[in-house]
Chain A
Amino acid sequence: MLDHILSLLIFFPALAAVFGFMIQKESMRAYGVAVSAIEFALALWLWYVFDGNVSGMQFMESLPLVPSFGINYILGVDGISLFIVILAAFFTMIGIASLTDTPNVKYMIITLLFLQMTMVGVFVALDAIVFYIFWELSLVPMLYIIGAWGGPLRIYASVKFFLYTFTGSLVMLVGMLFMAYFYYQATGVWSFAILDWYRLILPESFQLWLFAAFFIGFAIKVPMFPFHTWLPYAHGQAPTIGSVILAAILLKMGTYAFIRFSLPMFPDASAFFMVPIAIIAIIMIVYTAMVAYAQKDVKQVVAYSSISHMGVIILGTFALNVEGISGSIFLMIAHGVVSGALFLLVGVIYDRRHTKMMSEFGGLAQVMPRYATIFGLMLMASVGMPLTINFVGEFLSLLGFYQQSHILTLLAGTAIIVGAIYMLAAYKKMFFGEVTKEENKNLKDVNKREWVALLPLGIITIWLGIYPKPVLEPINNSVKSIVQLMHNKATTELGKERIPDLVKPKVVIIEKTIIEEVH
């Protein structure tokens, strides 16, 4: 059973989705919750049997797909992907559980289950083509979710989303074909296996081009400035569940792919592009935070804040050291939990009032105290309050990058203050003051179904904020091996300098004179 647990994780939801066509409409929601709960249980089981002390891939599976062209169905999971897989399973479950009575809820659940297949597939695929298949396939259900259940501009938003990411990934595909070709030239065998590619040491000039090709694909998905313009539309028009999945999981595909592909395959190029990417990341953090402040729609505030946090993740990733990368992976999970929760919360109020404009609210804390509490908690987490989940990730990411550049880290740090400003301003507009609108006076507080979705998120936010070790340790182990690999592969001075060598023992040299002075 354990030999095929990853295939099971991928294809169980897809199979369930196919069977879903036969289920009666009324019982569809129960079916969806049951299936996604089983999937989540499987993911937790994966965590249980996962050996956190092993840094490499576990539960690997391999089947020939097109062997003459080097394409094989290879799966595996390590500390980096494990928790994102769990997150994907978790959010699909939460999302389905919190679904309100949308029209055609049956098709929505089927689509979500298909989407889950592609999401899990992306994070466990160890063959570039298999990865690409799931990566591209994830666009289709998401297109349908936004396009069929979204707001008035849904078609524009969904097509924009699709075309942006599709174009980017085609360029990435060309990069992948080049990688396979270089591997073929070096070894005489075609291979798209990622672990094979790790062994390939490329000259810097090749690395730079390939890095750029992969970068376009990933950067659009993240989305990095200036490719981010599809995201506010997608979020703005998507139904709550679409925004939740998009923010919690789909955006992570890009940042995950940076760690899985760009860093270990092109260490020199990563070191070379570190500063420009960090600058883009800081622009993302600062600029989108400012834009978020200017928004009138609370969902757009969350959407832009989401981009802003993705900037911190990128910054951590390109710190190129263990703290930074581990921090960014942890922040991916944290951002998933927190922004997912915030989108759910926006969905709660949207369900009641059918508007997301902040000017329509005010004084909600009096009418919906429990809602205000959980919103407040998530908001605190979002701005990175200590003892919440985001703090750990943000702190580590910034700490990691601090070792590379003090000034850039400082700039990024100030942006977190801006983050606090827009979030608190939004909170003030919505929750404090007098209840001015008549319609708001009788709003119902969080109901049972919403608690089911929100409470676990709140618990995770605090639990992992106080005690991140169980998640952080397996991540750390895998990241260490990746950083070491990068250091060993780096061929340029710059690469060796920016990527730390973990094997070399760190010796703390205390100068003798200081000791003498003390005496």
Chain B
Amino acid sequence: MLAPINISMESLNVMTLAPMLIPVVGALLILVIDVIKGGLHKSLYVVLSLLFLAMDFFSLLDASEIFTQNGTVLGMFDVMLIDGLALLAQFIIVIASMLFIPLALTNKRFHEFSYPEFFALFLFMIAGFQFMVATDNLILIFVGLETASLALYTLIAMHNRDKSFEAAVKYFTMGALAAGFFSFGAMVFYALTGSVEINKIALVLAANGYADIGYVLVGVSFMLAAFAFKLSLIPFHTWAPDVYEGSSAPMAGYMSIVPKIAAFVVAMRFFEFLVHSGIIWLDIVLYAFVIITMTVANMWALVQTDVKRMLAYSSISHAGFVMAAILIGTTQANSALFLYWVLFTFTNLGSFTMLWISRQKSLPEHQMSDHSYDKFAGMIKTAPVPAMIMGLFMLSLAGIPPFALFWGKIYLISSAVTSGYTILALIMALNSAIAGYYYLKLIVYMFMKEPVVGANGHIYVANATLALKTIIGIAAVGTIFAFVAINPLLEFITAFVYNSGY
């Protein structure tokens, strides 16, 4: 007879679950409302989602207070983990989602937003990402990852254009493959160490001195491939540009920010001990991933004729850039990753939203794609304010000071410098210079060419509503006045990262 298990509620530490449960409850509520009374306007669901995300945000604030007082908190049979990385990532996820969801309130009617399920799935997805970052248990990471990914595939497909189905299916197939890699890698580590918790895996591997190095490398290879899919590192990036192109602009922007920070945090947890274990092979492979991703994605971005595809490739390049932080693996580098991503969130959200407000319901005849460069030609003459704002985001993405991303860039390059990665620092600098060209290309089109499309400038704001303008305003203010916030942000992030032992 098995003895009955006694669990005290205190040891469960249920509050560690609170931040994830809030969006889940919100999603269920939205579904229930739809069942009771269908056909409600999308604004209701947008506001409901916002409210639940706000609650989520406040519960995160509570959790971070507990973290600063007591340090890392474990809960739910030590599966849930509240530490600095988890909190920082969740802050980014929740804030980016709060900025994203009002983009549904467009002028034109895009039918994906008329489904309440869209918003329910959206909240489920956020919960999935939150689970993924708030644990070091490989199984829960997998569950979180798949919850979020499945929701995301559906959200893309809801966009309901020819290319959206293609994109969703492509993303799904690739994602399924990545999931397979992930579970295989996890299996190998479980076989080696008898645990699925990253910190225990690290302990066991270190204790026996990485005896089965061959198996470790096999496991690492599979894990690396899985993360490379999620982070769209070259050569596992092939889905990214097509998926970005197939999904709506805000969705693409969202995909370039939120899933990646979740994957970065997991990668940080997973590779942290491996990078410091002295496995030279891993260093070389990561180094190659970082450099190839940065450089090759930049080259592809150079030749794009569509702004959205250009931004997609540039996001890949940024991901490679930030992956360098995981390779370097110092506290400064890990803090730089979060700082970079916060700043990137504002800038990228801004630039994709700019694409979103210029979105037409159907393409005019002379326009090849939704966001071709030609469309933006001469924008300064027909729509000066949007042109200047778009130019601002491009300058920030290119890393021109004093705009937001510049600060992330110098802090990240500085972390490479301080840990002796001189060549890497130079390559990062030169890549920024290459990237300068394609961001500049859009500026050149907007400010120096003659208008081709839409002489009255209306097309650039065709989709704009107050909600969208507010989001762009927030992004623009965040981009211009980033320098005010850098110091508190840096101190906050560094304290959190340092106190979590990374």
Contacts of A143 in B (CB 8 A): 440, 443
Q: Is A181 an interface residue (CB 8 A)?
A: yes
Stretch from A75-83, A156-164, A350-358, A387-395 contacting the other chain: A156-164
For A168, give the chain B residue with the smallest CB separation.
B433
Given contacts A66-B407, A133-B402, contact A173 B491 (CB under 8 A): no
For A65, give the chain B residue with the smallest CB separation.
B483
Measured as residues with beta carbon below 8 angstroms from the partner, the interface class of chain A is 20 to 34
Is there an interface contact between A177 and B433, defined as CB atoms closer than 8 Å? no
Q: Is B466 an interface residue (CB 8 A)?
A: no
Is there an interface contact between B410 and A129, defined as CB atoms closer than 8 Å? yes
Q: Is B411 an interface residue (CB 8 A)?
A: yes
Stretch from B231-239, B244-252, B368-376, B413-421 contacting the other chain: B413-421
Is there an interface contact between A170 and B429, defined as CB atoms closer than 8 Å? yes
| Bound CA–CA A471/B105 (angstroms) | 62
Contacts of A155 in B (CB 8 A): 444, 448-449
Given contacts A66-B487, A68-B491, A163-B437, contact A144 B414 (CB under 8 A): no
Which of B400, B402, B426, B491 is A171 in contact with, Cβ under 8 Å? B426
Which of B426, B433, B448, B487 is A67 in contact with, Cβ under 8 Å? B487
| Bound CA–CA A178/B414 (angstroms) | 8
Max count, chain B CB within 10 A of own CB: residue among A132, A137, A155, A173? A173
For A213, give the chain B residue with the smallest CB separation.
B426
Q: Is B425 an interface residue (CB 8 A)?
A: yes
Is there an interface contact between A181 and B418, defined as CB atoms closer than 8 Å? yes
Report A116-160 residues with CB < 8 Å from chain B CB: 129, 132-133, 136-137, 139-140, 143-144, 147-148, 154-155, 158-159
**A89-130 interface code vs B (CB 8 A; 1 in, 0 out):** 000000000000000000000000000000000000000010
Contacts of B414 in A (CB 8 A): 69, 177, 180-181
Measured as residues with beta carbon below 8 angstroms from the partner, the interface class of chain B is 20 to 34
| Bound CA–CA A65/B486 (angstroms) | 8
| Bound CA–CA A347/B439 (angstroms) | 32
For A73, give the chain B residue with the smallest CB separation.
B483
Is there an interface contact between B490 and A159, defined as CB atoms closer than 8 Å? no
| Bound CA–CA A496/B487 (angstroms) | 41
Q: Is A23 an interface residue (CB 8 A)?
A: no
Contacts of B413 in A (CB 8 A): 173-174, 177
Is there an interface contact between B429 and A171, defined as CB atoms closer than 8 Å? yes
Report B149-199 residues with CB < 8 Å from chain A CB: none
Q: Is B494 an interface residue (CB 8 A)?
A: yes
Contacts of B407 in A (CB 8 A): 66
Q: Is A470 an interface residue (CB 8 A)?
A: no
Q: Is A64 an interface residue (CB 8 A)?
A: yes
**B382-415 interface code vs A (CB 8 A; 1 in, 0 out):** 0000000000000100001110001100110110
**A167-186 interface code vs B (CB 8 A; 1 in, 0 out):** 10011011001101100100
Q: Shortest Cβ distance from B482 into chain A, in angstroms?
A: 10
Given contacts A129-B410, A147-B447, A180-B414, contact A68 B494 (CB under 8 A): yes
Contacts of A47 in B (CB 8 A): none
For B448, give the chain A residue with the smallest CB separation.
A147
Contacts of A147 in B (CB 8 A): 444, 447-448
Is there an interface contact between B486 and A178, defined as CB atoms closer than 8 Å? no
Max count, chain A CB within 10 A of own CB: residue among B430, B448, B483? B448
Q: Is A451 an interface residue (CB 8 A)?
A: no
Given contacts A69-B490, A132-B401, contact A166 B429 (CB under 8 A): no
Report B52-85 residues with CB < 8 Å from chain A CB: none
Q: Shortest Cβ distance from A339 into chain B, in angstroms?
A: 26
Given contacts A66-B487, A69-B411, A181-B414, contact A173 B400 (CB under 8 A): no
Q: Shortest Cβ distance from A445 into chain B, in angstroms?
A: 35
Contacts of B454 in A (CB 8 A): none
Q: Shortest Cβ distance from A413 into chain B, in angstroms?
A: 38
Max count, chain B CB within 10 A of own CB: residue among A67, A69, A158? A69
| Bound CA–CA A100/B401 (angstroms) | 32
**B207-221 interface code vs A (CB 8 A; 1 in, 0 out):** 000000000000000
Given contacts A68-B491, A137-B400, contact A181 B432 (CB under 8 A): no
Is there an interface contact between A66 and B490, defined as CB atoms closer than 8 Å? yes
Q: Is B102 an interface residue (CB 8 A)?
A: no
Which of B401, B418, B422 is A137 in contact with, Cβ under 8 Å? B401
Q: Shortest Cβ distance from B432 into chain A, in angstroms?
A: 5
Given contacts A148-B447, A167-B430, contact A181 B402 (CB under 8 A): no
Q: Shortest Cβ distance from B446 into chain A, in angstroms?
A: 11
For B400, give the chain A residue with the smallest CB separation.
A136
Contacts of B410 in A (CB 8 A): 129, 173, 177
Is there an interface contact between B494 and A148, defined as CB atoms closer than 8 Å? no
| Bound CA–CA A180/B411 (angstroms) | 12
Which of A67, A69, A170, A178 is B432 in contact with, Cβ under 8 Å? A170
| Bound CA–CA A155/B445 (angstroms) | 10
| Bound CA–CA A475/B202 (angstroms) | 63
Contacts of A162 in B (CB 8 A): 436, 440
Contacts of A184 in B (CB 8 A): 418
Q: Shortest Cβ distance from A159 into chain B, in angstroms?
A: 6
Given contacts A66-B483, A140-B400, contact A173 B417 (CB under 8 A): no
Is there an interface contact between A137 and B402, defined as CB atoms closer than 8 Å? yes
Q: Shortest Cβ distance from A132 into chain B, in angstroms?
A: 6
Contacts of B436 in A (CB 8 A): 162-163, 166-167
| Bound CA–CA A173/B416 (angstroms) | 13
For B426, give the chain A residue with the smallest CB separation.
A174
Is there an interface contact between B444 and A163, defined as CB atoms closer than 8 Å? no
Is there an interface contact between A170 and B433, defined as CB atoms closer than 8 Å? yes
Which of A65, A140, A178 is B487 in contact with, Cβ under 8 Å? A65
Q: Shortest Cβ distance from A22 into chain B, in angstroms?
A: 14
**B426-468 interface code vs A (CB 8 A; 1 in, 0 out):** 1001101100110010011001110000000000000000000
Contacts of A65 in B (CB 8 A): 483, 486-487
Max count, chain B CB within 10 A of own CB: residue among A66, A147, A159, A167? A66
Which of A144, A158, A181 is B417 in contact with, Cβ under 8 Å? A181
Contacts of A148 in B (CB 8 A): 447-448
**A58-72 interface code vs B (CB 8 A; 1 in, 0 out):** 000000111111000
Contacts of B449 in A (CB 8 A): 155
| Bound CA–CA A154/B449 (angstroms) | 10
Is there an interface contact between A64 and B417, defined as CB atoms closer than 8 Å? no
Is there an interface contact between A136 and B429, defined as CB atoms closer than 8 Å? no
Contacts of B483 in A (CB 8 A): 65-66
| Bound CA–CA A178/B436 (angstroms) | 23
Is there an interface contact between B433 and A167, defined as CB atoms closer than 8 Å? yes
Contacts of A133 in B (CB 8 A): 401-402, 406
Contacts of B490 in A (CB 8 A): 66, 68-69
Q: Shortest Cβ distance from A165 into chain B, in angstroms?
A: 10
Is there an interface contact between B401 and A136, defined as CB atoms closer than 8 Å? yes
Q: Shortest Cβ distance from A114 into chain B, in angstroms?
A: 12
List 7 A–B pairs whose Cβ atoms lie within 8 Å, in order of A's numbering: A64-B487, A65-B483, A144-B448, A147-B444, A158-B444, A177-B410, A178-B417
Please list the residues of chain B having a beta carbon within 8 angstroms of any beta carbon in chain A. Answer: 395, 400-402, 406-407, 410-411, 413-414, 417-418, 422, 425-426, 429-430, 432-433, 436-437, 440, 443-444, 447-449, 483, 486-487, 490-491, 494
Given pairs A166-B433, A166-B436, 19 additional interface contacts (CB within 8 A): A64-B487, A67-B487, A136-B400, A136-B401, A139-B400, A140-B395, A144-B447, A147-B448, A148-B448, A155-B449, A163-B433, A167-B430, A170-B432, A170-B433, A174-B417, A174-B429, A177-B410, A178-B422, A181-B418
Please list the residues of chain A having a beta carbon within 8 angstroms of any beta carbon in chain B. Answer: 64-69, 129, 132-133, 136-137, 139-140, 143-144, 147-148, 154-155, 158-159, 162-163, 166-167, 170-171, 173-174, 177-178, 180-181, 184
4 nearest CB pairs, A to B: A167-B433, A133-B401, A170-B429, A147-B448
